[in-house]
Amino acid sequence: MRAVLVPVKSFRLAKLRLAGVLNGQARRRLARELAEIVLSAAHGTPVYVVCDDGEVADWAVNRGATALYAPGLGLSAAVEAGVRHLAGEGFSLAVVTHADLPLVSDLSGFGSPSEVTLAPDRRRDGTNVAGVPTEAGFRFSYGPGSFARHLGEAARLGLHCTIVDDPRLSSDVDLPVDLALMSRLVAQPPATTTAEPTKDEQQ
Hey, where are the domains in the chain? 2-188
- Quote the CA–CA distance of 40 and 191 in Å, as a whole number: 21
Q: List 118's β-bridge partners, or say none.
A: 130, 163
pLDDT at 138: 98
pLDDT at 42: 97
pLDDT at 17: 77
Helices vs. strands in the chain: H and E counts, helices first: 7, 7
- Quote the CA–CA distance of 54 and 170 in Å, as a whole number: 29
Burial, 140: exposed, middle or buried (Cβ in 10 Å; 0-12, 13-18, 19+)? Answer: buried
Identify the sign of the CA torsion 174, 44, 71, 27.
positive
List strand residue ranges (DSSP E) for the chain, in order.
Answer: 2-7, 47-51, 66-69, 93-97, 116-120, 127-133, 161-163
Sheet with 66-69, strands from edge to edge, namely: 66-69, 47-51, 2-7, 93-97, 127-133, 116-120, 161-163
CB atoms within 10 A of CB 109: 11
pLDDT at 36: 95
CATH number of 2-188: 3.90.550.10
Q: What is the pLDDT along the chain (203 residues), one digit of tens a residue?
A: 999 999 999 998 887 778 887 888 988 899 999 999 999 999 999 999 999 999 999 999 999 999 999 998 999 999 999 999 999 999 999 999 999 999 999 999 999 999 999 999 989 999 999 999 999 999 999 999 999 999 999 999 999 999 999 999 999 887 777 776 766 555 554 443 323 333 333 43
